């Protein structure tokens, strides 16, 4: 059970809730443990909005069993929520990652429906809501994140009608035809409708949500809003696109450091200074289109359209969700394919596909981005895809080229990328060849436009815009504004 510090009755003006806390427990060689900040733009963005406000972040610590006591980390109060080993299986690996994740990503793999998983999802969402209700100051702002916590908004509203509740969807919101498969489609929509404002990566996601409310709950809707309740309890729930971004300044600064620049050269050297270095960086997830990418590269090598020797494809695949069967199968399949390609095209002392099932620090990632001639971001479906934004931001030299799937949120902003439908292998191959062979001038122009877009819309702007939209008074449903 979570407990505040003994004697503490402090309540917070800004309450952030996400499945995970922004820290991981790490063990030192002497066996002692400490908390380490997890990398990533969300943490940075939240840090900057929480600084100067009285904020708390509620989330799971990543370990089974009792929750650690609340603690402070770089000026943010962190409040752990407990999950039992069985809840991790049912709520997190099960309902979140094996029911919702496939449904919300176009059912690339089949979704599994289990009533015991749903029961755990409800229970954990309720637990989060209780902690939120307990820690929120009167009239506080509550910002709930992502698909693991879709029921929490309504639970919080029941407990604390005085607070303002926002929810942000990091992943796609599916078309109603797919969403409708969920046996629990109505309670999920009702859970979300507990919020005042719902933020999505793309307008299409917000539209899908509003349409689902009309079709499955029979609620009156207009573009970007749903009316809930009747009479005195009538209120509007607003939905809009607020595309997430990255911490541009810190990544660009890092990419300019001599150490990172030198490391980028060293990476190319160690790969034998290839003519063309292709790069993929993803969580090892079936949504990311890694198989399609490998197939395109393999065929291009076989057809001699990619030089060999002369081409190296580095695929970094961060270990992910290894206890979910679909992820285990994907890993096996990718490793087999990489082995086959190298078996056919590598020579002694060099590989064509360098596959790394590992995580790297920020500096190493920046160096990889700087080293790559062409970045392959080819998801079959992706809410945003931050790797695309990181790549263009790291290209402080305006070099490189981005191949980007039209099924990412990022494509809606990075319109001068080399766009691709990754299902169309021939089309994908042509786009990869174009990205390699276009003139330097054309590639620089494309890159500069993308860099500007991301620089003008960084993660702080994203967080600021979300909080502004959340704070806005929607007024009564007839459209008149109370101010
Ligand atoms: P993810 O599916 O995890 O996020 P993405 O947006 O690409 O996908 O973010 C991945 C992050 O992990 C990037 O910051 C990347 O640098 C980092 N990363 C990947 N591989 C790494 C490695 N080997 N070592 C170190 N770091 C690595 C979900 C949604 C996305 C949405 C984000 C944010 O699925 O669509 O963009 O949330 O909302």
The yes-or-no verdict on residue 1 having pLDDT over 50 is no
The residue whose CA is least distant from atom 16 of ligand 1 is 387
What pLDDT shows up at residue 41? 63
The yes-or-no verdict on residue 44 having pLDDT over 90 is no
**Rounded Cα gap, residues 51 and 75, in angstroms:** 7
- In short, whether 443's Cβ falls inside 6 Å of ligand 1 is no
Q: What is the pLDDT of residues 105-139, one digit of tens each?
A: 999 999 999 999 999 999 999 999 999 999 999 99
The yes-or-no verdict on residue 50 having pLDDT over 90 is no
Chain length of the chain? 483
What pLDDT shows up at residue 51? 75
Beta carbons of 292 and 286 less than 8 angstroms apart:
no
What pLDDT shows up at residue 5? 52
* 30 labelled catalytic: no
**pLDDT level of residue 180 (50, 70, 90 thresholds):** very high
Ligand 1 center to 316 CA (angstroms)? 12
- In short, whether 363's Cβ falls inside 6 Å of ligand 1 is no
Per-position DSSP letters for 162-216, written without gaps between them: TSEEEEE-SS----HHHHTT-TTHHHHHHHHTTSSEEEESSHHHHHHHHHHHHHH
**Distant-in-sequence, close-in-space partners of 123: CB < 8 Å, separation ≥ 6:** 87, 91
Q: Which of left, alpha, beta for 30 (phi over 0: left; psi -120 to 50: alpha)?
A: alpha
The yes-or-no verdict on residue 474 having pLDDT over 80 is no
What pLDDT shows up at residue 8? 65
**Rounded Cα gap, residues 265 and 173, in angstroms:** 41
170, 285, 292, 457: the active-site residue: 170
Classify residue 59 as exposed, middle or buried by CB count within 10 Å of its CB (0-12, 13-18, 19+). buried
Beta carbons of 418 and 404 less than 8 angstroms apart:
yes
The yes-or-no verdict on residue 466 having pLDDT over 60 is yes
pTM recorded for the entire structure: 0.95
**Rounded Cα gap, residues 205 and 241, in angstroms:** 8
Q: What is the pLDDT of residues 329-370, one digit of tens each?
A: 999 999 999 999 999 999 998 899 999 999 899 999 999 999
- In short, whether 365's Cβ falls inside 6 Å of ligand 1 is yes
φ/ψ (deg, to 5) at 353:
-110, 120
Q: What is the pLDDT of residues 74-87, one digit of tens each?
A: 788 999 999 999 99
The residue whose CA is least distant from atom 9 of ligand 1 is 386
**Rounded Cα gap, residues 290 and 283, in angstroms:** 10
Q: What is the pLDDT of residues 271-303, one digit of tens each?
A: 999 999 999 999 999 999 999 999 999 999 999
**Rounded Cα gap, residues 282 and 284, in angstroms:** 6
φ/ψ (deg, to 5) at 381:
-165, 135
* 170 labelled catalytic: yes
- In short, whether 467's Cβ falls inside 6 Å of ligand 1 is no
């Amino acid at each position: 059970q979570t407990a505040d510090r003994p004697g503490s009755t402090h309540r917070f003006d800004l309450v952030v809730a996400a499945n995970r806390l922004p820290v991981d427990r790490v063990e030192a060689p002497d066996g002692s443990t400490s908390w380490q900040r997890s990398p990533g733009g969300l943490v940075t963005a939240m840090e900057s909005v929480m600084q100067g406000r009285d904020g708390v972040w509620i989330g799971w610590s990543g370990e089974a069993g009792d929750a650690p006591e609340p603690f402070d980390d770089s000026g943010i109060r962190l409040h752990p929520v407990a999950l039992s080993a069985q809840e991790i299986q049912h709520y997190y690996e099960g309902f979140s990652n094996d029911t919702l994740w496939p449904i919300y990503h176009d059912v690339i793999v089949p979704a599994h429906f289990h009533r015991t998983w749903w029961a755990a999802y409800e229970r954990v969402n309720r637990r989060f809501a209780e902690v939120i209700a307990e820690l929120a100051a009167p009239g506080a702002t509550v910002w709930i994140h992502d698909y693991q916590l879709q029921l929490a908004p309504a639970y919080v509203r029941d407990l604390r009608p005085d607070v303002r509740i926002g929810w942000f969807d990091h992943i796609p919101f599916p078309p109603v035809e797919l969403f409708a498969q969920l046996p629990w489609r109505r309670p999920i929509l009702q859970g979300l409708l507990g919020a005042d404002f719902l933020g999505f990566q793309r307008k299409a996601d917000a539209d899908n949500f509003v349409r689902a409310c009309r079709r499955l709950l029979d609620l009156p809707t207009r573009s970007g809003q749903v009316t809930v309740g009747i009479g005195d309890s009538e209120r509007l729930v607003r939905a809009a696109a607020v595309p997430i971004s990255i911490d541009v300044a810190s990544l660009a600064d890092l990419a300019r450091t001599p150490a990172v620049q030198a490391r980028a050269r060293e990476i190319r050297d160690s790969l034998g200074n290839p003519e063309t270095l292709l790069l993929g960086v993803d969580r090892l997830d079936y949504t990311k289109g890694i198989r399609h990418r490998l197939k395109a590269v393999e065929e291009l090598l076989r057809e001699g359209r990619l030089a060999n020797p002369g081409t190296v494809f580095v695929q970094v695949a961060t270990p992910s969700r290894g206890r979910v069967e679909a992820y285990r199968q994907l890993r096996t399949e990718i490793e087999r394919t990489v082995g086959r390609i190298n078996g056919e095209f590598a020579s002694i002392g060099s590989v064509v596909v360098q596959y790394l099932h590992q995580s790297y620090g920020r500096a190493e990632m920046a160096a990889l981005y700087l080293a790559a001639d062409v970045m392959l971001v080819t998801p079959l479906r992706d809410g945003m895809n931050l790797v695309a934004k990181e790549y263009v931001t790291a290209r402080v030299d305006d070099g490189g080229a981005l191949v980007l799937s039209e099924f990412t949120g990022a494509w809606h902003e990075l319109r001068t990328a080399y766009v691709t439908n990754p299902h169309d292998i021939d089309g994908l191959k042509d786009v990869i060849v174009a990205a390699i062979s276009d003139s330097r001038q054309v590639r620089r122009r494309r890159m500069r436009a993308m860099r500007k877009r991301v620089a003008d819309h960084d993660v702080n702007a994203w967080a600021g815009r979300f909080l502004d939209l959340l704070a806005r008074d929607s007024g009564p449903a007839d459209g008149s504004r109370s101010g």
